[in-house]
Amino acid sequence: MSKEVLPGSCRGERLTSGFGTRRGARRYNAFTLIELVVVSGLILVLSGLVLSTVGYVRKKGARARAETEIAAMSAALESYKADNSAYPRDDTTNQYTDTLNAQQNFDPTQTVYQNASLYLYGQLSGNPSGDRTTYTQQRYFQFKPNMLFPADQTQNVQYIQDPFGNSYGYSTANQADSTKGYNPTFDLWSTSGLTASPGNPDTITPQWIKNW
């Protein structure tokens, strides 16, 4: 017996005899719960990989920039020495650069870091007051705005800022005491964003970006 299909009926619907009751036979494709869980898991894994890669690239870029800036400031310090027969050293009143010791001071947020860094800025920029307008000395280095803190150029400079947002370290401690610091000339470094003070400096110092 052939099936009777009424005019206007939808394709895929099967009609029954009797009272004409319709029972839909159309099928809809959809993701199962397991498929959704698998896809969500893959998205989370891929997102984690992307974020970790971005973080690595940023850190690598910051380290490369710090290396470049330390090399540039070191060259400026050599020019300073050629004119003044000595590297910048605050050995008269405050002794900021003699006080900062790379072998003992591991936290770049310490005031001693910022004071020594500000002294270095003044000697290399020719702007000892840090007001960004009064230049009373020979300029040996042109600091970019992103190298100084605060970035707002209407405010006084507080310190030379590394790519990790902390103060660069500048020390002449070895000149004052040969048991301190690393170089008899000067120590110039970035802590690479490491702000903790470990019990053993060997666990942190090798990760610094430095001139020794």
181 burial class (0-12, 13-18, 19+ CB within 10 angstroms)?
buried
Taking only the tens place, the pLDDT of each residue in 155-176 is 999 999 999 999 999 999 999 9
Residues in the chain: 212
* Mean pLDDT value of segment 34-55: 77
Categorize the per-residue pLDDT at 42 as very low, low, confident or very high, splitting at 50, 70 and 90.
Answer: confident
Taking only the tens place, the pLDDT of each residue in 80-107 is 999 999 999 998 889 999 999 999 999 9
Residue 188 has pLDDT above 80, yes or no: yes
DSSP helix/strand/coil, 188: strand
Parse the chain into domains and list their residue ranges: 75-210
148 Cβ partners below 8 Å, 6+ apart? Answer: 121, 157, 159, 160, 161
Contact 67, 163 (CB under 8 A): no
**What pLDDT, on a 0 to 100 scale, did the predictor assign at position 107?**
93
Taking only the tens place, the pLDDT of each residue in 138-147 is 999 999 999 9
Residue 15 has pLDDT above 50, yes or no: no
**What pLDDT, on a 0 to 100 scale, did the predictor assign at position 148?**
98
Taking only the tens place, the pLDDT of each residue in 100-136 is 999 999 999 999 999 999 999 999 999 999 999 999 9
Q: How far apart are the first and last CA of the chain?
A: 97
**What pLDDT, on a 0 to 100 scale, did the predictor assign at position 43?**
85
List, in sequence order, the alpha helices (H) in 29-182. Answer: 33-84, 96-99, 111-125, 173-176
Structure tokens at 62: 């910051």
DSSP helix/strand/coil, 82: helix
CA distance linking residue 156 with residue 118, whole number of Å: 10
